[in-house]
Structure 1
Amino acid sequence: HGGYGTNTYKALMEAADFQVLRNGCRQVQLTDGSRIELAFLDDVMLGKPDYEGTLSRLSEDAFSILIVHEPDAALKIGGYPVNLQLSGHTHGGQVQLPFFGPLITPPYGKTYTDGMYTLHDTTVYVNRGLGTTRLPYRFLARPEITLFTLKTVQK
C-alpha cells in the first residue's frame, strides 16, 4: 500500500499468476482428512481490514492461521478461533538496544515487535523480515526467514 503502490503491486502479482488475498479465507485439505484454515486481513494501516467478516468464517474444529501484515492486529482478534497469527511490519524495530529492546516501531507494531508471543489461545509470530523501512540499517535486529513445521497433536 505504501507509496500509492497498491494497484501496481496487485497488477504485478496477478501478472505473475499470484493471487492477492485480502479479507478472505481459504481451506487446505490434508491427506489425513483434517484441514487448515487460512485467513487473510487487508493492511491495517493503509487498507480496509474486515475483522468480523473474515474471522467469523473460521471454525473451531480446524487449525487456523491468520496472516496479517501488522502484528498488533492480534489485539482485536479475541473471541475468534485463531490458533496462529503470522505478521511482519516491524522489522524487529531495526535498531535494538540490549535490555531495552526496539527503539522505534511503526504504528500497529508497538505491542508485538518480533518473535513469538502467546495471547489467550493464539500464538502470534512476528518475523523481522529481510529489508528495512525508512532507515537503511539494522542493529541487533537481524534479518530473518522463518520456517514452521506444523504437527498434529494426537488426542
Structure 2
Amino acid sequence: MKWITRRAVFRMGGAGALGSGLLAYGWGPGRSLVVERVDGPLRSGHGHLDGLRISVLSDFHHDDYGSAALVEEAVEASNAFDPHLVLMLGDYVSEDPGVMDLLVPLFRPLRARLGVFGILGNHDHTYGPDEIVHRLQKGGIEVFRNRARQFSYGGGSFSVAGMESHWMGRPNWPGLQEALPENDPVILCWHEPDTFARTQKEPRLALQLSGHTHGGQICAPWGPLRLPRFGKRYVRGLFEESGTGLYVSRGLGVLDIPIRLFSPPEVTCITLKAAPTAAV
C-alpha cells in the first residue's frame, strides 16, 4: 500500500480551498457590476460625431440565474451617463421568452436623448424571436433586424444599424450596405464580434458593437476557458483595425452556471472621439 504523505494532504487541501475560494468569488464579487467608460476613436470624415455618448447593455440571459437587482443597477448607471443612445446587443433570454415579462419592465426607466434600441442575439433567434421583439417594442425599445435608422447630430447625420444573429438568424450584410445612406457614418450592432473581420472593410463604419462572449465568463490567468462560435477572435474590450473600431461587451448575465470569474458584468459608456487636428 502506498501511503499519502502529509505534504500531499496539505497540497490537496490547499487546492480544494483555492477552488472553493474561486467559486465563492465567482458567485459573489465576480458578478458585481463594473461601470466602464471608453473613448471610441473616429476615422477621418466622421468628426461630426465627436462627443456622441452610447450606453451599451448586452447578454442578460434573464432566465438563466438573472438578477433584477443587477439590471436595475445597470439601468441606473446608464441613465447617469446621460447618453445620446442606449444600444442593447441581444441575448435577453437563454431559452424562455416568457421571462421577458419580468425583464422588459426593468428597462422602462432607461433614458437616452435619441432613443433606446436593440438587436437580437443567437439565443433570442433560437427561442421565439418574434415574441421577444414584440415584447421589447411594446416596452418602447425599437429592434433592428437587418435595417438602419438615420439620426441628426453635430451638424451632420449618421445611421444606427442592427443585424440579425450571424449564428442563428438570417443576416443580410450586403443588403444593409446597399440601403445605408451613401455618406453617413454608421454605428453597427451585431451580436457576434467575429463578424468585425468582415465589416471593418466598410468605409462608412464608425464603430461596431458586439456582445456574445461574456468576456469568457470564466477565465483563468491565461485567458477564457471556453468561448462560443463567432466569438473567439475578439473576446472583450476595444479593438482598432482598418481605421475603425469594435467594442465587445462582457454583458450582464451568465450562461449555464451562475458564476463569473475574472470577467465581471459591465455597463459601458462609449464616447466617440475625433482625432486631434494637426497644428498648422
TM-score (norm 2): 0.51
2:157 maps to 1:35 = yes
Superposed displacement of residue 153, structure 1: 5.0
Q: 1:113 aligns with which of 235, 252, 276?
A: 235
Give the one of 267, 271, 280 matched to 1:145.
Answer: 267
Out of 131, 134, 146, the position equivalent to 1:8 is: 131
Q: What's the secondary structure of 1:27's corresponding residue?
A: strand
In structure 1, give the amino acid aligned to 2:272.
L
What's 1:26 paired with?
149
Counterpart residue type for residue 90 of structure 1: T
- Provide closer, same or farther for how the CA distance between residues 124 and 62 of structure 1 changes in structure 2, counting only shifts above 3 A: same
Please tell me the root mean square deviation across aligned C-alpha atoms, in Å.
Answer: 1.9
Q: Give distance in 1, aligned partners of 2:244 and 2:174.
A: 17
Seen in structure 2, the aligned counterparts of structure 1 residues 131 and 60 have a Cα distance that, compared at 3 Å, is same
User: Which ranges of 4 or more aligned residues in structure 1 deviate by more than 6 Å?
Assistant: none
Deviations 1:37-72 (A, max 9, x none): 212111111111101011234456433211111111
Of structures 1 and 2, the one with the larger relative CO (CA 8 A, separation 6+) is: 2
Cα shift at 1:20:
1.5
- 1:90 matched to 2:217: no
Matches within 5 A, 1:39-58: 39-58=161-180
Alignment partners' CA distance in 1, 2:169 and 2:261 = 30
**Identical positions, percent:** 37
Q: Which has the higher helix share?
A: 2
Length, aligned pairs only:
153
Q: Which runs of 5+ in 2 are unaligned?
A: 1-123
For structure 1, the residue ranges without an aligned partner over 5 or more in a row are none
Summarize the Cα distance change of 1:2–1:104 in structure 2 as closer, same or farther, 3 Å threshold: farther
CA contact (8 A) 1:58 1:80 kept: no
Superposed CA deviations along residues 19-51 of structure 1, whole A, max 9, x for unmatched, are 221101111101x42122212111111111101
The amino acid across from 2:264 in the alignment is R
Q: Summarize the Cα distance change of 1:2–1:52 in structure 2 as closer, same or farther, 3 Å threshold.
A: closer
The 1-side partners of 2:230 and 2:183 are apart by 29
Q: Residue 265 of structure 2 aligns to a residue in which SS?
A: coil
Shift in Å, 1:78: 4.1
Contact 1:39/1:55 (8 A) holds in 2: no
Cα distance change of structure 1 residues 7 and 59 upon mapping to structure 2, 3 Å threshold:
closer
Greater radius of gyration (CA)? 2
TM-score normalised by length of structure 1 = 0.88
Q: 2:125–2:165: 8 Å Cα contact kept in structure 1?
A: no
